[in-house]
Amino acid sequence: MTMLTAALPFVGFYGSHHDADLNYALEAMFCNDRGDSCPGLTDRVTGACNWPAVHRAYTREFAEAYCEEAGVNGARFESMDSPAFYNFETDRVFIELPPEEARRMMRTTSSASLDRVAKNRHTSRSGFISFYSADWRAWGEVEGWDHNQLQTLIEAYVQDARCELDEIGLMESVRCNGRIEGWVESNTTGIERLHRIHDYLRRREERT
């Protein structure tokens, strides 16, 4: 079966709460008993960590949580894409979507919501030129829609079903169960040595 590619709403990592969660988890890994982090060690991890791999793991979890919460069936994480520079765009998350699920979502989404979301996302304005008609009826059959058009469908579908999804809430379990720390651990060369240094510093601080 040929799957469709759809983009999901995602604010990206640059200056966002997602990035703040990663930074908080990193600092928590190297905190003393008073809750103060060690900048020297966190800086070392920041420089040594394979952050693209951490971001992929994070966005995979995000895509799964989003689709489950939104009721998008049969979808699976496809990829994430990061811009070379964050001047005009941000990180994007893509899923593979079964055509029959796209058709089901199309049948159950109101025209009013599609009108509203398409107008908001695809109307040209100052600083933004749209390459799509703001009238989704001109796009043809949903099986031929691209990732941006399918994101419009997903957003309208969510508006009808739930009004909106809270990106912060979607990742609450990830923040609380140590998943972020695990991704940083497994993607940072030499982190064991940094943990040994951290343990030494904590023991020395206890003795003073």
| d(C-alpha 148, C-alpha 8), whole Å | 9
CA nearest to 53, candidates 190, 191, 185: 185
pLDDT tens across the length of the chain (208 residues): 699 999 999 999 999 999 999 999 999 999 877 777 788 899 999 999 999 999 999 999 999 999 999 999 999 999 999 998 887 889 999 999 999 999 999 999 999 999 999 999 999 888 788 899 999 999 999 999 999 999 999 999 999 987 678 888 999 999 889 999 999 999 999 999 999 998 888 887 777 6
Report pLDDT for 203: 81
CA nearest to 172, candidates 14, 17, 12: 17
Report pLDDT for 201: 83
Q: Assess contact for 195 and 44: CB atoms under 8 A.
A: no
Residue 8: phi, psi to the nearest 5? Answer: -105, 150
Q: Assess contact for 94 and 147: CB atoms under 8 A.
A: yes
Domain positions in the chain: 4-207
CA nearest to 5, candidates 170, 154, 109: 154
Q: Assess contact for 116 and 24: CB atoms under 8 A.
A: no
| d(C-alpha 180, C-alpha 7), whole Å | 23
The H-or-E segment that residue 79 falls in is strand 76-81
CA nearest to 57, candidates 30, 27, 77: 77
Buried b (16+ CB within 10 A) or exposed e, 34-47: eeebbeebbebbee
Report pLDDT for 202: 80
Q: Tokens 């994007």 appear where?
A: 92
Q: Assess contact for 92 and 10: CB atoms under 8 A.
A: yes
Q: Assess contact for 29 and 184: CB atoms under 8 A.
A: yes
